[in-house]
Structure 1
């Protein structure tokens, strides 16, 4: 096994859980889990820890707001309360408004189904990214988060390896070119897991050292 393959094996084993999985989303090419991923991407976009964003998503879904219809029908205060239970407090009021408006947009324009957005974009990665950024709270970062995770079930957008993923790869001595890095994964699902692992690892020099040490054994 080569050095790169050894590093990837350690990454997948120790850090290869997608943020969707951590939030309890059973990702599939279906309207409900795709919407839940959009909610998660909205929450992860704020300057707040990923753990808090995941906890807030879990609370929203536990409260029953896992579909655009339910999110739209929930009161503003109900959404604020759910976000608060996930300790998503600095941005709770603004985010509650954005989630309500985003659910409304999805219902009105794409009948609650993000697969319709994908069809409108002709399955083209860049155009999907542009359309995602029409949702309140989804900027370039949020669109990349969504695409990074959805590539597990939307082969049209794979490989989608954004700057954070490539930065993590560079710190571990992995290829920084999108196609070469993607070639180290054996499936689109594994590519989404590898992307999540690289984002996690890129935030901590200690974690980078740990992965490199384990891969060298």
Structure 2
């Protein structure tokens, strides 16, 4: 199978960004969708399954916590209850504290608007990652998840691929350089492609696409 054919197959079966799965329209590039994506990055950074992190992110939205100010009005017991109900039984209390610390930083440093972080990074992915890692609970994995998804609307960070997507690309005989990989997919499909590479890894479906 040619590389382009393999990419087409990946996009057809797994080509859905995690923001799209969450129901977040990043094309608006407004504070609320960006905040919800950052919450997903935090939740995915915890030692839980990706499905549980997604469920928790949806539960936060269902609770009405779609902006930093709305989350700030929540209580610790309320956050624990919502996270526990979403399956965060082992790390619900820790995450309930982390997410408020991270929310305080977002309000204090960026007035609740992640577009200010974008301006601060000035197109430098390393600067963006450093800024993202200042949020409580966000490490290399969480920062990479955020940039991997947000490049769809923050074009200065395109093409960005994290270790998870590139390790799968290598196993599938695809380029392990983000720029080379992007040339095979095209700019519009690249965020979907890197998400697909992560999804096929999470689904333990690499061998089928390789063989």
When normalised by structure 2's length, the TM-score is: 0.95
SS of 1:184 mapped into structure 2: helix
* C-alpha deviation, 1:22, in angstroms: 1.5
Equivalent pair of 2:171/2:210 in contact (CA under 8 Å) = no
CA distance 1:208–1:97, shift in 2 (3 Å): same
Deviations 1:143-190 (CA, angstroms, capped at 9, x unpaired): 0010011111110111111111110101111111221111122224x2
Root-mean-square deviation (Å): 1.4
Equivalent pair of 1:72/1:101 in contact (CA under 8 Å) = no
Query: 5 Å matches for 1:1-217?
Result: 3-28=2-27, 29-188=29-188, 190-203=189-202, 205=204, 207-212=205-210
* C-alpha deviation, 1:204, in angstroms: 5.2
Equivalent pair of 2:4/2:185 in contact (CA under 8 Å) = no
Query: Within 2, Cα distance between the matches of 1:203 and 1:81?
Result: 27
Query: Within 2, Cα distance between the matches of 1:187 and 1:181?
Result: 10
Query: Within 2, Cα distance between the matches of 1:121 and 1:137?
Result: 20
Deviant stretches of 4+, over 6 Å: none
Equivalent pair of 1:5/1:184 in contact (CA under 8 Å) = yes
* C-alpha deviation, 1:59, in angstroms: 0.4
Query: Within 2, Cα distance between the matches of 1:113 and 1:193?
Result: 25
* C-alpha deviation, 1:203, in angstroms: 4.1
Query: Within 2, Cα distance between the matches of 1:84 and 1:18?
Result: 25
In structure 1, list runs of 5 or more residues that go unmatched: none
Deviations 1:41-88 (CA, angstroms, capped at 9, x unpaired): 000011111000000000001110011111111111111111112112
Query: Within 2, Cα distance between the matches of 1:115 and 1:72?
Result: 19
* C-alpha deviation, 1:123, in angstroms: 2.5
Equivalent pair of 1:151/1:192 in contact (CA under 8 Å) = yes
Equivalent pair of 2:16/2:195 in contact (CA under 8 Å) = yes
* C-alpha deviation, 1:134, in angstroms: 0.4
CA distance 1:204–1:24, shift in 2 (3 Å): closer
SS of 2:128 mapped into structure 1: helix
In structure 2, list runs of 5 or more residues that go unmatched: none
